[in-house]
Homo-oligomer: A and B are copies of this chain.
């Protein structure tokens, strides 16, 4: 920040010449400004620039190329800010409420032809007087953080918006699966952050040594923020219930699936607290990273991938829970891409795929063939991992990204497998990750 140039690129002036003048020659610079700007600089409403030990290298220039102000570092990097963005983001108390962290500027009366009448820089603060008479000030630090360069934006998005997801295969899994101590996560913000970071990056992590009590999962969820409720409630019990309306509540093998594909807004994170594990055979977890599988399909079976990512499938759940009937239904491809072609969500569930299939007849057989390839990929030992949680383990995984299943088991009178489940939403988890990062001075 020791060497900053400032440049106004102005459509208000007809002068196309670029002028680079050191700040200490500002009087000369001012005398060269177009008439309108000179007038504003001399109207006495704004403080005049003065020499400052940190400002020796600050220069200003004017051109008519675009409606943009430029801040140029000594290393040659030019940071550019559109006028309208600056005016819209004025940080003064009448345009921005720091308590709300919200813009309060009224867009009904906002003039998009607003332009700077004058500007100066002092003590690393850029001051602008606007054509609407308003004055704005921006610290150079604030401007730098919001630089429109691609590098800066990518850094911001990776640091603050969302952590990059790292796909994994079965061979990667031993190094991918991180384990955290329950007491540490409850007590230490750093441990809480590390758990959520692992969950965001790899889509899976285990919190172990949790007390064998039914309320402990809620305690962990509340440490993040709050549970996402579904028509199965907030917490749900995973145990063998003969009269259940959900296949997870049986002791039979549970085929690979992602939970609640029949919700448009399906839960983001699955938490499964193991209270009692089967001491005999079975009850193993199966997990596959569908981000990884979708990349493989896209590369090696592009036709299969295209079918899976464009064919609308009907996902459903019909039943009754705690006296309330439900009939959930959502149409969505098995592999969902966002608008920009990136993996966005997996839907896979034999049990929740409806018998109605509202696609053209000629697309049905190709879809089934693609689905069979997808199924093979999900169960492929190169992709799928199998492991058994122990009492006290909370298995957490990304329900938008991973498919999971369970091998069958047999309950005995003295050994009845029993898990407590709950969901979190990524909106809430990411919010917590960001507040923790701020608190831990990571952003």
Contacts and interface: CB of A to CB of B under 8 A. Distances in A.
Interface stretch (A180-188, A202-210, A244-252): A244-252
Contacts of A153: 358-359
Contacts of A375: 107-108, 110
A171 interface: no
A438 interface: yes
B324 A225 contact: yes
A356 B146 contact: yes
A248 B434 CA distance: 24
Contacts of A356: 145-146, 156, 160
Contacts of A430: 328-329
Interface in A313-330: 314, 316-319, 324-330
Taking residues whose C-beta sits less than 8 angstroms from the other chain, chain A's interface range is 35 or more
Interface string A329-358: 111000001010000000000111101111
A410 to B, nearest CB: 18
A103 B399 CA distance: 21
Interface in A101-120: 101-108, 110, 112
Interface of A: 66-68, 80, 82, 84-85, 88-89, 97, 99-108, 110, 112, 145-146, 148, 150, 153, 156-157, 160-161, 225-226, 228-229, 231, 243-247, 252-253, 255, 262-265, 268, 310, 314, 316-319, 324-331, 337, 339, 350-353, 355-361, 364-365, 368-369, 371-372, 375, 379, 425-428, 430-432, 434-435, 438-439
Given A84-B364, A148-B361, 11 more contacts: A99-B245, A100-B244, A100-B351, A148-B359, A157-B358, A161-B331, A225-B231, A225-B324, A325-B435, A327-B434, A330-B427
